[in-house]
Each structure stands twice: as structure tokens, then as C-alpha cells.
Amino acid sequence: MSHDAPFKRCCPCCDNRTLDEHADYEICPVCFWEDDGQDDESANEIWGGANGDISLTAARQNYIRIGAADPKNLRHVRAPTEAEAAR
């Protein structure tokens, strides 16, 4: 088990502990959401950029339904490790 995982930040989309910094444009390896700083306050907005034409709210729904923030990125996602898994 990784000792670094408890120090990781939660992805705003899948809520797994996969990110080193908040809003650092890091891509979550579990759901493939790029953390551009969007969070609950603006979750219904479409910011464009790397996350395309999908809102954080829609990405969260996609993750619950198919395991990826966006269906086009299914081949890039993976299951969270035990240390990363949302609590």
C-alpha cells in the first residue's frame, strides 16, 4: 500500500484521492477528469478546455454510470487502488 495516498487530494469528479494539488490541471487516472479548479460552486457550468463540453455535474454522473468522466475517455480510466478509494 502506498504511504503517499493519504496525502493526495480528492478528485472533484470521482472523489478518489488521486491528485497532488488542487486546480493544477492534473488528470485523474481513475476518471480522467482534468482538475482545472472547477468545484461544487460551479459544477453545473461548462468551462471548456481539456474537459470539453461537459460540466462537472455531468462528469460526476458519467463516472457513477460508466466509470469515466466522459465516455470518450473510457480507454484511459482504471479502478482506484485501495489507498485511493473514496471514503
Q: Which residues of the chain have pLDDT under 50?
A: 1, 4
pLDDT at 6: 58
pLDDT at 75: 98
Contact status, residue 80 vs residue 15, Cβ threshold 8 Å: no
Q: For the whole model, what pTM was predicted?
A: 0.90
2 C-beta neighbours (distance < 10 Å), count: 11
